[in-house]
Amino acid sequence: QVQLQESGPGLVKPSGTLSLTCAVSGGSISSSNWWSWVRQPPGKGLEWIGEIYHSGSTNYNPSLKSRVTISVDKSKNQFSLKLSSVTAADTAVYYCARGYSGSEAGAFDIWGQGTMVTVSS
């Protein structure tokens, strides 16, 4: 069964760039699914960041669009997130998630375990 695993630095300096990777195992990133990043600040709710299809097509949350880049590496079966000009407000648990192809409502049926990223000097 498909599993997702996030990886990347747990600490990023203010004004720097947050970089995370989500490795897909048990299935192909070239399947008929969109692949998303979602974040959750400590003690708060969930915020969708953006998504990518294996073709490279992307959609981003308008509130983050100017700072976000999501890319895909089909040879490594993984996709990545870059968030630039980070501040303390970007401190959160970052999840990668799979969009369920059987859902019209864009449900996320598989999630990674999440990785905590703290923005601090």
Partner 1 sequence: DIQMTQSPSSLSASVGDRVTITCQASQDISNYLNWYQQKPGKAPKLLIYDASNLETGVPSRFSGSGSGTDFTFTISSLQPEDIATYYCQQYDNLPPGYTFGQGTKLEIK
59: β partners: 51
CB of 96 to partner 1, least distance (A): 10
Q: How far is the CB of 45 from partner 1 (least distance, A)?
A: 5
User: Of the two residues 32 and 113, which places its CB atom closer to partner 1 in the complex?
Assistant: 113
Please name the residues in contact with 20: beta carbons below 8 A apart, sequence gap of 6 or more.
6, 7, 8, 37, 80, 81, 94, 96, 115, 117
Which one, 89 or 105, has the nearer CB to partner 1?
A: 105
**What does the alpha-carbon distance between residue 46 and residue 80 come to, in Å, rounded to a whole number?**
19
Check residue 65 and report its DSSP letter: G
Which residues contribute to the site for partner 1 (CB under 8 A)?
Answer: 36, 45-48, 51, 59, 61-62, 95, 97, 100, 102-109, 111-114
**Residue 16 or residue 114: which is nearer to partner 1 going by CB?**
114
